[in-house]
């Protein structure tokens, strides 16, 4: 049985889009499911779009998503080099073979002529494409261009009659009329290949068995199939993946909710949630549940489950996934994962003590049912970690609850009774507050809300009695004193 070999081939043009990572994830899952190989190959042949550090950005994203590669940069392998700019000799060799066989040709058109050609086609309402003028140059005309030193590109001499047909693993049989295909450029005038030549040559030389890529590449697939046939090579299985769509049913992008691949981690999404959510964007395990571990996804993944229609990618659904995984964390793990966000906000020092970490765990335990992303930790739990004289009060809450007649007396009674408690736990704290409500013959909210605002500065948050227990008696007493200084009634 042939070993499955799949490749993810990003360009070093910046942080990868989440759709690119989805492709890499499907590659990785298929390789791990079949016991095959996941290869990373850097396609850096468009030097105009390359950014400094672009390769590192691509590899860092793969690492964050846990997509380890079997061959490629930093790993090596028997099919290297795995960076296309280091493989230029291959592309030149195979381009010359096509030229010698009459299946490709050099074209010497100037930019001015090509621009004029396209403008004329547009005026006539014709599809824009190369008019094949230099495909049929005589030997003398070619020699004249060569002797003049005119720059040239290598174009593929696509068949002009018949159809190009192939079977896609997702979309079934796909056919294109050859007469609508263009004589695409294979080798640019700067000596670098286009994607068409480089991907076909590299996929063949690296024994790639399956090419997983976005459905946007379907229009280019007949050219690639024709290139394989021109070389006399067997083509890999093409697996075109449905585009991810936003809620507006347009391609999922920045304008409709998508983020760069690494932004999700920076915004507090767990890798487990991201992996689970992304695996279901265009693939179905055919089970009536949503939550799967990485191991379960590897076990279930197959090409048969890839959908032939675009999924709607709902950011709110990702929030749900993230919340589910956050609630499954142990308190120790939750504290560890929240720590970088708390430190970035200046709420926790760079090297907190074990006692501080334990306290963070207790704080986040109170928020575990509400928190959607780790980035919310400083917002939801910040008042626990701020100094007793530094947390901010909600001005509207102060106006509403600290101006009611008798509120000062009620808060002082709570403070005095807290001081007398033997055990400062949630049950005892609740008993004190219930007693004050009864004693002053007021509605519960006339004690509960002022106490909450006093110790947290806000009107919403975790359970009041549990919150006060975690803050501790001494801090609560100081906070009540501070609140009493603001009471106007």
Confidence bin at 259 (pLDDT 50/70/90): confident
Cα 352 to Cα 339: distance, rounded to the nearest angstrom: 9
pLDDT for residue 11 is more than 70: yes
pLDDT for residue 225 is more than 90: yes
Question: Is-catalytic flag, 356?
Answer: no
- Output the pTM of the full model: 0.90
pLDDT in tens, 94-121: 999 999 999 999 999 999 999 999 999 9
Half-sphere exposure of 41 (CA within 13 A, CB side): 33
Cα 195 to Cα 483: distance, rounded to the nearest angstrom: 67
Query: Which of 12-16, 141-145, 360-364 has the lowest average pLDDT?
Result: 12-16
Query: Which of 87-101, 205-219, 254-268 has the lowest average pLDDT?
Result: 254-268
pLDDT for residue 348 is more than 70: yes
Cα 367 to Cα 448: distance, rounded to the nearest angstrom: 19
Residue 292, both tokens: 């799967």
Residue 124 neighbours by CB distance under 10 Å: 8
Residue 223, both tokens: 């050219």
Output the pLDDT for position 254. 75
Output the pLDDT for position 258. 80
pLDDT in tens, 30-70: 999 999 999 999 999 888 888 999 999 999 999 999 999 99
Averaged confidence pLDDT in the chain: 95
Cα 187 to Cα 14: distance, rounded to the nearest angstrom: 24
Cα 102 to Cα 88: distance, rounded to the nearest angstrom: 21
Q: What is the C-alpha radius of gyration for the chain, rounded to an integer number of angstroms? A: 32
pLDDT for residue 151 is more than 70: yes
pLDDT in tens, 466-478: 999 999 999 999 9
Residue in 254, 344, 396, 443 annotated catalytic? 254
Cα 91 to Cα 246: distance, rounded to the nearest angstrom: 38
Cα 421 to Cα 473: distance, rounded to the nearest angstrom: 9
pLDDT for residue 489 is more than 70: no
Confidence bin at 2 (pLDDT 50/70/90): confident
């Amino acid at each position: 049985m042939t070993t499955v070999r799949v490749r993810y081939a990003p360009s070093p043009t910046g942080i990868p889009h989440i759709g690119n990572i989805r492709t890499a994830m499907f590659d990785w899952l298929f390789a791990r499911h079949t016991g095959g190989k996941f290869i990373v190959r850097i396609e850096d042949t468009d030097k105009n779009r390359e950014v400094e550090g672009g390769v590192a950005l691509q590899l860092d994203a793969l690492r964050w998503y846990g997509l380890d590669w079997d061959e490629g940069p930093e790993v090596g392998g028997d099919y290297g080099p795995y960076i296309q700019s280091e493989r230029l000799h291959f592309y030149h060799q195979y381009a010359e073979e096509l030229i010698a066989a009459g299946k490709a040709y050099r074209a010497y058109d100037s930019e001015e002529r090509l621009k004029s050609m396209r403008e004329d086609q547009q005026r006539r309402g014709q599809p824009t494409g190369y008019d094949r003028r230099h495909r049929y140059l005589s030997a003398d005309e070619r020699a004249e261009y060569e002797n003049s030193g005119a720059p040239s590109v290598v174009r593929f001499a696509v068949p002009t009659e018949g159809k190009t047909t192939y079977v896609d693993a997702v979309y079934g049989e796909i056919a294109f009329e050859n007469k609508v295909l263009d004589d695409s450029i294979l080798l640019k005038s700067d000596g670098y290949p286009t994607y068409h030549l480089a991907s076909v040559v590299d996929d063949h030389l690296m024994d790639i068995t399956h090419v997983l890529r976005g459905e946007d590449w379907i229009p280019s697939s007949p050219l690639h199939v024709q290139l394989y046939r021109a070389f006399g090579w067997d083509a890999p299985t093409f697996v075109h993946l449905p585009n991810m769509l936003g809620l507006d049913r347009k391609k999922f992008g920045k304008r409709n909710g998508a983020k760069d691949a690494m932004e999700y981690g920076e915004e507090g999404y767990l890798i487990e949630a991201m992996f689970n959510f992304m695996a279901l964007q265009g693939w179905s395990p055919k089970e009536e549940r949503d939550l799967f571990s990485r191991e379960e996804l590897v076990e279930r993944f197959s090409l048969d489950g890839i959908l032939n229609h675009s999924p709607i990618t709902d950011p709110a659904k990702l929030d749900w996934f993230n919340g589910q995984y956050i609630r499954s964390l142990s308190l120790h793990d939750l504290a560890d994962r929240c720590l970088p966000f708390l430190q970035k906000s200046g709420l926790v020092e760079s090297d907190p003590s074990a006692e501080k970490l334990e306290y963070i765990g207790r704080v986040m335990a109170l928020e575990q049912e509400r928190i959607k992303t780790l980035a919310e930790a400083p917002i939801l739990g910040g008042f626990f970690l701020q100094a007793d004289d530094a947390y901010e009060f909600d001005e509207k809450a102060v106006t509403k609850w600290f101006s009611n007649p008798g509120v000062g007396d009620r808060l002082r009674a709570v403070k005095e009774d807290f001081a007398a408690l033997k055990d400062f736990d949630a049950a005892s704290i609740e008993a004190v507050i219930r007693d004050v409500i009864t004693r002053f013959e007021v509605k519960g909210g006339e004690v509960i809300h002022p106490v909450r605002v006093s110790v947290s500065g806000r009107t919403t948050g975790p359970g009041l009695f549990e919150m006060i227990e975690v803050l501790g008696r001494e801090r609560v007493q100081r906070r009540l004193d501070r609140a009493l200084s603001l009471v106007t009634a």
